[in-house]
Structure 1
Amino acid sequence: MKKKPFIKYISVFIAALLLLTHVIQGASAAKSFNETPAFFNKSVLKQGTFGFANLEGTKLLVDYPQEQELNWSQFNVAVGHNGQRLSIKLKGKQKETEANNGRQTAYNFDQLGGLIYEVIGGKAESNETYFIVKDSALTDRMLLELTSINKKKPTSKMKSEITKLKNRAVKNLYPLENIKEIGNVYLVEYKPKGKDMLASLAVLTSDGWVFKDYPATFSDNSAWRVDDGGSITPDMFSFTFAARSEHGFILGVQWLGAEGESTSFLEYTQAKKGKNGKKAKLSELDVRYSRYMMPI
């Protein structure tokens, strides 16, 4: 009977010890997260590579690695499909087969030559493009959450604001994506002036409207993309990821056309106030990846 209180105290002590261990581990994990770099360096885009997923989302293929000489085994994360971050591991080389039809798609995945990465943490989105790099170069802390806003309706006030800023009438304004902590991304299609076409990707932030313009000339049923009929629509656009940079953010833009998809990156530089103030700017970086996908 006298031993029971002692056993009870031991049980309480063990429970308290376990709780303390859990708290310490949690604090250690939080400290580790907070000590990782907060900003993505755009130079990393030229240090990594690009690939796309197979139908099952279990592998990624880098289909023309001969263009670069990199330490391929150091790459252990892939980021794409609105910032999905996957753990990967280099599996080896894949030889091209005679059945290869030249299309860079999941349907032709097993026929293409290149490097194969196995997805070991998570599952890739079928046929999606991913940026492949080492984990320390693009951490979870750097990534900004992307959420579709394509169901929202733009206001007439927004169209009027853009018309005034660009001195050109707006034909269509499409909401695309929200970047958490930043603002919203829109596709703007302006009314054509003869054969002169203009579209913009526009970001609405606390700095106001900021634009990346895409002028084009309509010819042979094509403007921005081959056989686009002079039309630009929101379903052509998807996003690889958004990452926080020291002076704004970096956004990966995937633009689908009749023959395939091109991936480019926009750099948003926030406005600078004061004596040497500068306006916010949205510019395209010298990094591209293209996939020839159609006709199948």
Structure 2
Amino acid sequence: MRKLFFVTLLLLIFLVGCSSGKVKPTVSTSPPPSPSATPTPSPTPIPEQEQDQVEPGQDPVHTSVIDPSKLGNIFGFAGINGQQILVTGLEKDQDNKMVQLNKAIGANGAVVSVKYLKWQAGNDELNNGRDLAINMENEPGYLFTVEEGAAEQDQTYYLINDTEFDTGALLAIQEKNEPVSDEQLLSQLATIHDRKIEQAWTLTEIAGTDGLYLVHFETVGEEHLFSLVVIRGDELIFKDYPATQKETTSVWRVDDGGEVSSDNFSMMFAANTSDGILISLNWWGAEGVNSLFLLEKNHKLEDLETRYGRYTSPL
């Protein structure tokens, strides 16, 4: 019996020793990973901020400009059906200059491609002296054909070489010809000139500005005044037209009665230049139309030597 007891005891000791020899799993002393440490898929890369969209043909770095010192002085008008343009007012034998011209800019900045055709002698007997489409074949001048599109009959055109005049500098234009109703603006304009306003009109909207305005001020004694104004934000850029005249039959133009209105003016074009904005404007009168170039300088619009006149008095 005692022997059986010792045998059983030895067996138990043996079993306990075997179980204590097993490798126990190692318990980590590091804290469990936090939820933020749990591996997650890589986030989708955020794309770089896109650049402003640029219209086709537009320089994404800077706006095109023209050099005012390179402006020519060659104008003409379009004939019937708009397929020809006649350059008038120049002496003969300038074909070498004419052949270099390949574009013509007309009303509201419309551009057509042109090609020099010939010097036209005209017809002295039939020429009535009017720079109009119905008289084009009778006038002497340099004749161009319109290669693409059509010019607008009887409109004035400014002829250029597009390697010297970048047409990308032309600004979008929208005709308005409507009275100004902004009382605050009218008060500001009157205060600047210390004179009451008879009437004011928005002539046209021009890209990059708040528009081109015509302001006719009250006559004081014999002193007459109207102004063309480009407004750009808080900046007002004036071209004043004062006149001293006792008789009011013809103050600025023949038979104008001392009056101006939006009907007297139409845009040829507006463009960015290395100096500032350039405005090309047609000023219509009872006997004809003058084309003016006004260039921004020192917060004013100044007349350039580039100009043209057409005699269109009714027959």
Give the structure-2-normalised TM-score.
0.76
Aligned partner of 1:293 in structure 2 is: 312
**Unpaired runs of 5+ in structure 1?**
1-28, 270-278
Aligned partner of 2:276 in structure 1 is: 248
Match among 212, 218, 221 for residue 239 of structure 2: 212
Q: How many residues align?
A: 258
Any conservation in 2 of the 1:154–1:175 contact (CA below 8 Å)? Answer: no
Any conservation in 2 of the 1:184–1:205 contact (CA below 8 Å)? Answer: yes
Q: Offset of 1:155 from its aligned partner? A: 1.2
Distance in 1 of aligned mates of 2:60 and 2:120: 39
Q: Which whole-Å deviations, capped at 9, do the CAs of 1:241-265 have from their partners, x for residues lacking one? A: 1111123211101100011011111
**Unpaired runs of 5+ in structure 2?**
1-54
1:78–1:34 CA distance, 2 compared to 1 (3 A): farther
Q: How do residues 117-266 of structure 1 correspond to structure 2 at under 5 angstroms?
A: 117-151=144-178, 153-218=180-245, 219=247, 221-266=249-294
- Counterpart of 2:201 in 1: which secondary structure? strand
Paired residue type of 2:277 = F
Distance in 1 of aligned mates of 2:80 and 2:149: 14
Distance in 1 of aligned mates of 2:149 and 2:73: 20
Identity of aligned residues (%): 33
Q: Offset of 1:266 from its aligned partner? A: 0.6
Any conservation in 2 of the 1:76–1:132 contact (CA below 8 Å)? Answer: yes
| 1:60 aligns to 2:85 (yes or no) | yes
Paired residue type of 1:248 = G
Aligned partner of 2:98 in structure 1 is: 72
Distance in 2 of aligned mates of 1:266 and 1:165: 21
Paired residue type of 1:249 = I
Q: Which has the higher helix share?
A: 1
Q: Which whole-Å deviations, capped at 9, do the CAs of 1:209-264 have from their partners, x for residues lacking one? A: 22100012332611110100111011110111111112321110110001101111
Give the structure-1-normalised TM-score.
0.81
Distance in 2 of aligned mates of 1:151 and 1:264: 22
Any conservation in 2 of the 1:207–1:280 contact (CA below 8 Å)? Answer: no
Q: Offset of 1:50 from its aligned partner? A: 0.5
Q: Offset of 1:139 from its aligned partner? A: 2.7
Query: Which protein is bigger by CA-based radius of gyration?
Result: 2
1:255–1:75 CA distance, 2 compared to 1 (3 A): same
Q: Offset of 1:31 from its aligned partner? A: 7.5
Q: Offset of 1:268 from its aligned partner? A: 1.6
Paired residue type of 2:76 = G
Any conservation in 2 of the 1:254–1:261 contact (CA below 8 Å)? Answer: yes
Any conservation in 1 of the 2:80–2:153 contact (CA below 8 Å)? Answer: yes
